[in-house]
């Protein structure tokens, strides 16, 4: 639970002992407007944030 199935498409960061997986494609969008953010928290599951503006 909390790890993406396709881990090669994600960058992993450690925050307070929790692994956070963020899509690599999102990190490569230099200055582009992002509409949503999908991330995984190891042990907690998958989450998605949608930005309205």
Full 3-state SS string of 5-52: CCHHHEEEEEECCEEEEEEHHHHCCCCCCCCEEEEEECCCEEEEEECC
Q: pLDDT value at position 14?
A: 92
Q: pLDDT value at position 7?
A: 86
pTM: 0.69
Q: Where do the structural domains in the chain lie, given as residue ranges?
A: 7-50
Mean pLDDT rounded to a whole number for the chain: 83
Report in angstroms the alpha-carbon separations of 27 from 1, 37, 42, 43.
Answer: 23, 10, 19, 23
What's the mean pLDDT in 34-38?
A: 81
Res. 27: pLDDT tops 80:
no
Go through the chain and tell me how many residues it has. 53
Interval 37-51: pLDDT, tens: 888 898 888 898 888
Res. 5: pLDDT tops 80:
yes
What is the end-to-end Cα distance of the chain in Å, rounded?
31
Q: Are 5 and 18 within 8 A, CB to CB?
A: no
């Amino acid at each position: 639970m909390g790890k993406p199935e396709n881990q090669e498409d994600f960058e992993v960061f450690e925050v307070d002992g929790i692994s956070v997986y963020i899509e690599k494609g999102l990190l490569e969008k230099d200055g582009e407007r992002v509409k949503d953010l999908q991330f995984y928290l190891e042990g907690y599951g998958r989450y998605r944030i949608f930005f309205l503006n």
